[in-house]
Amino acid sequence: MVDVKSGANPLFLTDEELRQGIELLFYAYRDFTSDPDSILRQFGFGRAHHRTIHFIGRNPGISVAELLGILRITKQSLSRVLSQLIERGFVIQRQGTRDRRQRLLHLTPEGIELEERVSAPQRARVARAYREAGGAAVEGYRKVLLGLINEQDRHGVLKSIKDE
């Protein structure tokens, strides 16, 4: 069905190998997303809240539109979790100075602390896997995952703090 011997690299890819690559991603994502669940529940939050504070924390001052673009959800869906996070003091909005229609999002000190607590087991999982696999493997991990991402989004993943 899938016959990929062509391409720049003479890599022989069987259907079995491709499906295994798919499954690895499924299992890793399954386990790594479940890590923060117990902590989130203590706050009455879910995974959507986690994703939101993660990306606000990584991109302080991100606009609502940019955040929607990363999460690939609608504003109505984001609104639910974002308004809760704002109401409970984990996120603040500041009116944009260059464009005052924008609501630029920031974590409060409490938001930063929450994000750190919630992501701690995830970071520990990644750290362990990285250490066990070694530097060369980590490089390959990054390279392949980056190649799996839609091309137009790749550059955005690599730069972390942006002021655009």
Partner DNA sequence: GATTTTACGTCAACCATGTTGACATATATC
Partner DNA sequence: GATATATGTCAACATGGTTGACGTAAAATC
Q: Which residues form the interface with DNA (CB under 7 A)?
A: 44-49, 51, 63-65, 71-83, 93, 96, 99-104
What residue type is 85 in one-letter code? L
DSSP classification of residue 12: -
Sites of contact with its own copies (CB under 8 A): 1-2, 4, 7-9, 11, 13, 15-32, 34, 51, 54, 58, 72, 116, 119-120, 122-150, 153, 157-158, 160
Q: Residues, the chain, total? A: 164
Interacting partner of 102 out of its own copies, DNA, none (Cβ under 5 to 8 A depending on kind): DNA
**CA separation, residue 129 to residues 62, 132, 158 (Å):** 30, 5, 20
Supply the minimum distance, in Å, between the C-beta of residue 30 and DNA: 10
**Residue 117 Cβ vs DNA, minimum distance, rounded to whole Å:** 16
Q: Are 149 and 157 in contact (CB under 8 A)?
A: yes
Where do we find the tokens 């980056």? 146
Q: How far is the CB of 106 from its own copies (least distance, A)?
A: 17
